[in-house]
């Protein structure tokens, strides 16, 4: 189905192929494409792809990337990239909400609030040899090049074999308090560095309007440790 917009002709649907693959439950093709975003194939990416596709089909939705569908993820691990790719709810289109709970789980919801929460059951998602390599190469950063390559192969095998495994998730229907559409703020120019800044992020200091780095103010950062607050850190 194509959307038509009067005389202007056909609107290109950016996610047409992804939406088709979701409906066809072609998880293998979705995982292959998700790897382009994520950079490697791994068990958690695979679980994110699988959970994302399941949730999209359960809610019977497509996502044109305009905040009609939102995803709430509860940790920033590989799973969340599978979710972003398959559901189309991303960091940049304001439809990805991040709650720093440290849980591998996602809630997908429509703007009406009807949603589904899927969490990954505790368990082993790779063979013991790959798990041991993961501890050495990733957790302790001690792996040789050969061990790293062996890990990536083990990751890949685990990722694709998980697509056929059942009983991986706990699912429940939920009612979600969906936030308002992202507000549009004016931009202002920092009097120190001259860069454009969203007005709500400007800081008044000594009678001047500055950006946070120029003012040396506190800020939040999302990084590998989750959400971290920095106070007056020089950037």
Is position 168 an interface residue for Zn ion (rule: CB under 5 A)? no
Nearer to Zn ion, 110 or 201 (CB): 201
The closest of 39, 55, 37 to 156, measured between CA atoms, is 39
CB atoms within 10 A of CB 26: 14
- CA 211 – CA 203 distance, rounded (Å): 6
3-state secondary structure of 92: coil
β-bridge partners, 119:
105, 170
Size of the site for Zn ion (CB under 5 A): 8
Is position 106 an interface residue for Zn ion (rule: CB under 5 A)? no
Nearer to Zn ion, 37 or 193 (CB): 193
Nearer to Zn ion, 27 or 214 (CB): 214
Is position 11 an interface residue for Zn ion (rule: CB under 5 A)? no
Which of 22, 42, 89, 126 touches Zn ion (CB under 5 A)?
A: 42
Which of 193, 222, 227, 228 touches Zn ion (CB under 5 A)?
A: 193
Using the contact rule CB under 5 A, the part of the chain among 11-19, 40-48, 88-96, 216-224 near Zn ion is 40-48
CB atoms within 10 A of CB 91: 12
Nearer to Zn ion, 66 or 189 (CB): 189
Is position 222 an interface residue for Zn ion (rule: CB under 5 A)? no
Nearer to Zn ion, 66 or 193 (CB): 193
Is position 158 an interface residue for Zn ion (rule: CB under 5 A)? no
β-bridge partners, 219:
230
134-164: burial string, b at 16+ Cβ within 10 Å, e else = bebbeeeeebeeeeeebbbebbbebbbebbe
Is position 211 an interface residue for Zn ion (rule: CB under 5 A)? yes
In contact, 143 and 151? CB cutoff 8 Å:
yes
Residues with Cβ within 8 Å of residue 227, at least 6 apart in sequence:
98, 100, 220, 221
Nearer to Zn ion, 95 or 190 (CB): 190
- CA 105 – CA 55 distance, rounded (Å): 12
Binding mask 51-90 for Zn ion (x = CB under 5 A): ---------------------------x------------
Which of 192, 201, 212, 219 touches Zn ion (CB under 5 A)?
A: 192
Pairing state of beta strands 219-223 and 226-230? antiparallel
Using the contact rule CB under 5 A, the part of the chain among 15-23, 44-52, 117-125, 159-167 near Zn ion is 44-52
**Residues binding Zn ion (CB under 5 A):** 42, 45, 78, 190, 192-193, 211, 214
């Amino acid at each position: 189905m194509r959307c038509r917009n009067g005389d202007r002709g056909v609107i290109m649907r950016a996610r047409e192929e992804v939406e088709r693959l979701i409906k066809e439950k072609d998880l293998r093709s979705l995982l292959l494409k998700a790897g382009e975003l994520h950079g490697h194939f791994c068990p958690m990416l695979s679980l994110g792809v699988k959970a994302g596709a399941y949730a999209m089909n359960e809610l019977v939705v497509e996502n044109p990337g305009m905040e009609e569908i939102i995803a709430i993820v509860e940790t920033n691990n590989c799973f969340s990239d599978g979710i972003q790719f398959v559901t189309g709810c991303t960091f940049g289109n304001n439809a990805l909400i991040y709650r720093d709970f440290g849980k591998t789980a996602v809630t997908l919801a429509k703007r009406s609030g009807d949603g589904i929460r899927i969490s990954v059951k505790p368990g082993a998602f790779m063979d013991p040899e790959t798990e041991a390599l993961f501890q050495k190469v990733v957790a302790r950063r001690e792996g040789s090049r050969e061990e790293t390559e062996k890990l990536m192969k083990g990751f890949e095998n685990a990722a694709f074999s998980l697509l056929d495994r059942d009983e991986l998730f706990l699912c429940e229907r939920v009612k979600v308090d969906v936030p308002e559409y992202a507000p549009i703020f004016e931009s202002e120019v920092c009097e120190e560095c001259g860069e454009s800044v969203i007005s709500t992020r400007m800081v008044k200091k000594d009678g001047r309007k500055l950006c946070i780095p120029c003012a040396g103010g506190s800020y939040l950062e999302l990084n590998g440790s989750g959400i971290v607050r920095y106070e007056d850190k020089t950037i």
